[in-house]
Structure 1
Amino acid sequence: MTGRWPGWFALGVLRFGLSPDAFWALSLAEWRALCAALEPVAPAPPDRQALDALIMQFPDGGGQ
């Protein structure tokens, strides 16, 4: 397996509890539906205000 397949396979087997045969038998629509169930758990990306606060807290310092 190359690319992202090892990670996707591990997610399917370890997180979703699929057998390897069940993982490989999934359609793309089924896989997307399973992965969509994970989305609410992921944090939302920072908004502009949060990014500006981080920039102020951790300035680049001119590459030093």
Structure 2
Amino acid sequence: MTWPFDEWHRLAVRHLQLSPSEFWAMPLADWLSLIAIDRSALDRSDLNKLMKDHPDGIDRQGG
């Protein structure tokens, strides 16, 4: 199997806005997880509920 590292590198830099060094430092398992199609991903209503329940700027850990 040939791995498409050049294509992945372009995707990482152009679309995901990772620096080249971030891409090359990323473990392969993490990269594959990042680009995997997740059929259980949040939809818009799930995201809205999550943002309502956990708004930015609130530190719930007390720190």
The TM-score, its normalising length taken from structure 2, stands at 0.49
> Which structure has the highest helix share of the two?
1
> Which is higher, the Rg of structure 1 or of structure 2?
1
